[in-house]
Homo-oligomer: A and B are copies of this chain.
Amino acid sequence: MDKKNIEEGSALNIDFEKRGGLIPAVVQDMRNGLILMLAYVNQEALAETLESGMATFWSTSRNELWTKGKTSGDYLKIKKIFVDCDQDALVYVVEPQGKGACHTKDPESGDSRLSCFYRLVDMESKKQLAHIKDIDKSGS
Contacts and interface: CB of A to CB of B under 8 A. Distances in A.
Interface in A48-98: 50, 78, 80-86, 89, 91
Contacts of A104: 7-8, 85
A124 to B, nearest CB: 10
B119 A35 contact: no
Nearest to A92: B121
A117 B84 contact: yes
A116 B32 contact: no
B118 A85 contact: yes
A32 B28 CA distance: 13
Interface string A3-15: 0000111111000
Nearest to A107: B8
B11 A82 contact: no
9 contacts: A10-B119, A11-B128, A12-B122, A28-B35, A35-B82, A37-B84, A38-B84, A38-B89, A80-B120
